[in-house]
Structure 1
Amino acid sequence: MMAGMSMSWRDLHSTAVVADAHNDLLCAVVARPTTEWSDYFRREWLPQLRAGGVTLQVLPVFIDETFQPEGALRQTIRMIECARQITADNADDVTLCLTATDIDEALSVGRIALVLALESAPGVGEDIELFRILHTLGVRIVSIAHFGRTALADGSGEDATGSSLTSVGVEAVALLEELGVLFDVSHLGAAGVSHVLNIATRPLIATHSSARALRDHHRNLTDEHILGIAGTGGVVCVNFFAPFLAADGATLDHVVDHIEHIVALAGVRAVGLGPDFVKQVLAETQPAWCEHAPVRLLGTSLTYLEGLEGPAGLPLVTERLVARGWAEDDIRAVLGGNVLRLFRDHFGPA
């Protein structure tokens, strides 16, 4: 136990709110027959979430290129229904939360609070009024680009274009703010992030982005953008994907380095966790013959942090923060307190 700590790191982790702002597990669940969704989630993912101490889990709705463009909206709705079904059939353990009150009630009885997010929203295209329907179905966080170009904005893989949001993208930001949906800048191109910072009137979130000052990768945020997000009252959730943390040989210490950089820059209230655990998801959804497709997409090696390949490894982050002498309250803030505060304060219209 560290000097000044009132409990062990294990006890600290087990009593903290642990919020994972980005886990693509829904992609692995929905890939199975409908009749297997709930059992597969209960067998494969629930034990991992419990082992990691996860109490608040954002579930991205990510639409694989296989379904784009014609089937993107159908798959979006199917994935939302998947989340609703696994919640209904595992009601003792998880709750699909639409409001801050839902989250608090779930946490109070020991259930994992699940929150739906759209990642790049390819099923919407230019028909942004669909965001109203998707909000009604439970979506509470939205991003509008991935690596490539959409009708609303360019993703980070298109940074060379220097493109801001399209006119419809600007309308989308205003509509999402009206609905009380959090806007997610992760994956958005650098010029797009700057554009959003200029027009946003509500807090922003980066659900899974790290610091470009430590690793110069287009998927990471510049110091200027980190400060901008913090200035809105938002949170930057650090990505654990190894190639985004270091050029090679990334470790748990690199995760903490990125956390500490953001804290030093923008304050401890501006940081959360967005691990982006994809190892199991890709292993179970990518056919063997195209196993290297994600490498071509990212333009980098597909590698993972030892011990942090999935949510069960999250207590290691707490252990390392304690080892570096962090204060208990600050650790709790980073593990999930900051994300919970953001959700409590900004789910729903202003």
Structure 2
Amino acid sequence: MGSGPAAALATARDLLRHHPLVDGHNDLPWEIRQQFGRDLRRVDLAAPVSQTHTDLPRLRRGGVGAQFWSVYAPGTLQGDAAVATTLEQIDLVHRMVHRYADDLELALGADDVEHAFSRGRIASLLGAEGGHAIANSTGVLRMLHRLGVRYMTLTHNVNVPWADSATDDPVVGGLSAFGREVVREMQRLGMLVDLSHVAATTARDVLGIAEAPVVFSHSGARAVCDHPRNVPDDLLRRLAANGGVCMVTFVPDFVSPRCRAWTLGLRAEMERRGLDPKDAGLRAATAAEHVADHPRPRAVLAEVADHVEHVRRVAGIDHVGIGGDFDGSDDVPDGLEDVACYPALIAELLDRGWSQDECVRLVSGNVLRVLREAEAVSRSSSARRGPSTASIAELDRT
């Protein structure tokens, strides 16, 4: 086979025919809820869906072999409302898998991923985004695991009572005593602890007690783009020592310093006008005016590859993966417009000198290892201690 972009793309596609690409985060279930009211009869995922980044034909073209579907509930929901919405999203994914059983197959672990891939199906894993989904209850956490949830992001964009978020004002200072209990219970269950969205202090506290590898399901490298959602180098080094994986995201504001600077300029303009930058409606209206004199820059695929390479340099080839966050962002990089575009990213890395074996570790080898190690820790941990019944009131008394 010859050299050059066309040859690299052909090699990438062939590689993904033989090895499952495992993506760490996709928000299609929430997009379906928003656009179609959770009614799968109103959308045909077996055909092109123009309103989303994701459908079955494009997943096939993109070589996706396994997908963590986000069962997300907004952080504005608390208590019963957060639990109910999370359960509804879990139900939606289960119904989606059942409806498209020739293409999707529920996966609860690494062996299930490989089995589904061998049968020509896309393994469907579940990830809960935000610890508010458990309403401060380890019992709810166990039930989410029983329903198939295999990672939980400890926070979303706002704090939970027991852990600080990267994009909220710190309150706990990292993890509280109850937060440490949640982490221990997750690892006893074999549920991956996801550190995307959490404050660096929270991540450091988790890595100080974690017995099993953890993940960042959709984050970038802070040294490449200075955004609080990205991972600083000291945490990437600690992640390597932990055995975990940082799954690089495609969100333009996290990927591109130019896009990040534009957003900070928009925020400054809102503050100058006395407007609340957290108000989504006001932000959209101000952005529509701001863009006239300050065109929004475009992130590009090569910038995503820069993050992948930085994580590799700092943490090592065994600690990097992919977590695109398709359908979770209103913008995407040029060259990574939807889930059909993964081969282009692999081709870019091949062009940069990556070997096929290194690409296999990136797309699936690393995260499958993490899943297996989490399962092994669960077996040993469960033999030592039973289910936690501790409450936040008991552990976090002030």
Q: Indicate the residue corresponding to 1:9 in structure 2.
A: 12
Structure 1 equivalent of residue 360 of structure 2: 332
Question: Which string of whole-angstrom CA distances, capped at 9 and with x for unpartnered residues, describes residues 177-216 of structure 1?
Answer: 1111110010011110111011111110110111111111
Name the CA distance, whole Å, in 2 between partners of 1:166 and 1:30: 33
Give the letter for the 1:49 counterpart: L
1:7-33 Cα distance to aligned partner (Å, 9 max, x none): 733323333321110111111223424
Preserved CA contact (<8 Å) 1:59 1:116 = yes
- Give a deviation string over 1:235-261, Cα, whole Å, max 9, x none: 110011111112214311111111111
Match of 1:288 in 2: none
Listed as ranges, the matches of 1:252-291 within 5 Å are 252-278=301-327
- Report if aligned partners of 1:60, 1:118 keep a CA contact under 8 Å in 2: yes
Q: What is the alpha-carbon distance in structure 2 between the residues aligned to residue 222 and residue 37 of structure 1?
A: 43
Rounded to whole Å, the distance in 1 between the matches of 2:43 and 2:101 is 13
User: 2:350 matched to 1:322?
Assistant: yes
Q: Report sequence identity in percent.
A: 34
Once residues 35 and 23 of structure 1 are traced to their aligned partners in structure 2, the CA distance between those partners, rounded to angstroms, is 19
Aligned length: 329
| Gap change, CA 1:159 and 1:222, over 3 Å in 2 | farther
Partner of residue 152, structure 1? 162
Q: Deviations over 1:119-163 (max 9, x none)?
A: 113231211221111111111111121121112211101265582
Q: 1:94 and 1:262 mapped to 2: Cα distance?
A: 30
Classify the secondary structure of the residue corresponding to 2:93: helix
Structure 1 moving runs of 4+ over 6 Å: none
Question: Is the Cα contact below 8 Å between 2:103 and 2:122 reproduced in 1?
Answer: yes
Q: Which amino acid aligns with 1:333?
A: R
Instruction: For 1:195 and 1:65, locate their aligned partners in 2 and report how far apart those are by CA, in whole Å.
Output: 22
Aligned to 1:26: 29
The answer to whether 1:107 aligns with 2:117 is: yes
Match of 1:347 among 375, 387, 390: 375
Compared CA separation, residues 82 and 37, structure 1 to 2 (3 A): farther
Q: Is the 8 A contact 1:159 1:218 kept in 2?
A: no
Q: Distance in 2 between matches of 1:334 and 1:80?
A: 27
User: CA RMSD for the aligned pairs?
Assistant: 2.3
Counterpart in 1 of 2:341? 313
Paired letter, 2:369? R
Residue number in structure 1 paired with 2:202? 192
Q: Distance in 1 between matches of 2:184 and 2:335?
A: 41
What is the distance in 2 between the residues matched to 1:318 and 1:263? 14
* Aligned twin of 1:296: none
Change in CA separation of 1:252 and 1:35 when aligned onto 2, cut-off 3 Å: closer
The offset of 1:71, in angstroms, is: 1.6
Answer yes or no: is the 8 Å Cα contact 1:140–1:347 preserved in 2. no
- The question of whether the paired residues in 2 share the 8 Å contact of 1:38 and 1:90 is answered with no
Q: Partner letter of residue 269 of structure 1?
A: D
Distance 2:111 2:16 in 1: 23
> 2: distance between equivalents of 1:269 and 1:86?
32
Q: Which has the larger radius of gyration?
A: 2
Question: 1:291 matched to which residue of 2?
Answer: none
2:134 equivalent to 1:121: no
For 2:339, give the aligned amino acid: P
Letter in structure 1 aligned against 2:374: H
Q: 2: distance between equivalents of 1:177 and 1:166?
A: 17
In the alignment, the residues of structure 1 paired with residue 345 and residue 232 of structure 2 have an alpha-carbon distance, to the nearest angstrom, of 23
What is the CA–CA distance in structure 2 between the aligned matches of 1:253 and 1:221, rounded to whole Å?
19
Rounded Cα–Cα distance in structure 1 between residues aligned with 2:331 and 2:38: 31
Distance 1:42 1:33, change over 3 A: farther
State whether residues 159 and 191 of structure 1, in contact with CA within 8 Å, keep that contact through their aligned partners in structure 2.
Answer: no
Deviation at residue 113 of structure 1 after TM alignment: 0.4
Aligned to 1:36: 40
> 5+ unaligned residues in a row in structure 1: which ranges?
283-301
Aligned to 2:300: 251
Contact 1:153 1:165 in 2 (8 A): yes
Is residue 267 of structure 2 the alignment partner of residue 218 of structure 1?
Answer: no
Determine the structure 1 residue equivalent to 2:214: 204
Q: Structure 2 CA distance, aligned partners of 1:181 and 1:66?
A: 24
Checking the alignment, whether the CA contact within 8 Å between 2:155 and 2:198 is kept in structure 1 is: yes
TM-score by length of 2: 0.77
1:53 aligns with 2:63: yes
For structure 2, list consecutive stretches of 5 or more residues without a partner in the other structure.
Answer: 50-54, 259-297, 380-398
For 1:191 and 1:235, the matched residues in 2 are separated by 18
**SS of residue matched to 2:218:** coil
Does 1:168 find its partner at 2:168? no
